[in-house]
Amino acid sequence: MKKIAVLLSGAGVFDGSEIHEAVLTMLALTKLGASYQCFAPDIEQMHVVNHLTGEVSAEESRNVLVESARIARGEITATDRLDIEAFDALVIPGGFGAAKNLCNFATNGSDCEIPLEVADFISEFADAKKPVGFICIAPIMIPLLYGEGVTGTIGNDVDTAQAFNLMGGHHQEAVVQEIIVDEANKVVSTPAYMLAGNIAEANEGIEKLVKKVLEMV
């Protein structure tokens, strides 16, 4: 049985992992006969957002690993405990947490950086030539991790696509149902809620991405 790592960034679309995307990823993996293990960095969130009002709760602070454990039903491991030999591939759901906690694209744009804990974790898969799937806004990290000319998609948002290219990547426009595959780097990406109007639309691309990642193992 193929074993896949799933990297989470909190719990909630505005400050963590997009919960629908995370759950659909785990569902797709299970339906296709793979097992998975959730991971998250043991770091503080950039901030906490009240998902009812959309406002930042300035007085609150939360931990990415602790919040991600909500989605993983408690079965989660810190990124610094990865045994790369135990895993065949990695999938990274989106949500603003991918642009706020896994990197700082939300505040720094094309000048963004990835925290060491996160960069080291994803780079272990890249260095081992193991497939990685990036969903929604998570693909914005692809150029920083894989270098000049790597191909990926965030959908068709002009400003985000321009940032992807400025960071050294080659952005390829895609609709919500599509995946973009960089065979040389074993990278797969799909827009999901960057474009999806509902959970069924998000699921189409996510299912295709998970299937392709498993095929590339």
Q: Token digits for 176? A: 């919500």
Which residue among 38, 103, 112, 136 is the active-site one? 136
Nearest to 199 by CA among 11, 7, 27: 27
Coil, strand or helix at 1 = coil
Residue pair 70/22 in contact (Cβ under 8 Å)? The answer is: no
Cα distance between residue 65 and residue 115, in whole Å: 14
Give the DSSP letter string of 29-44.
Answer: HHHTT-EEEEEE-SSB
Instruction: Note whether 100 and 113 are within 8 A (CB).
Output: no
Does residue 142 come out as left (phi exceeding 0), alpha (psi in the -120 to 50 range) or beta?
alpha
Active-site residue flag, 136: yes
Sign of CA dihedral 198, 6, 184, 115: positive
**Alpha helix locations (H) across 32-180?**
64-71, 96-100, 105-108, 116-127, 142-146, 158-166
Both tokens of residue 112? 């963004």
Residues marked as catalytic: 136
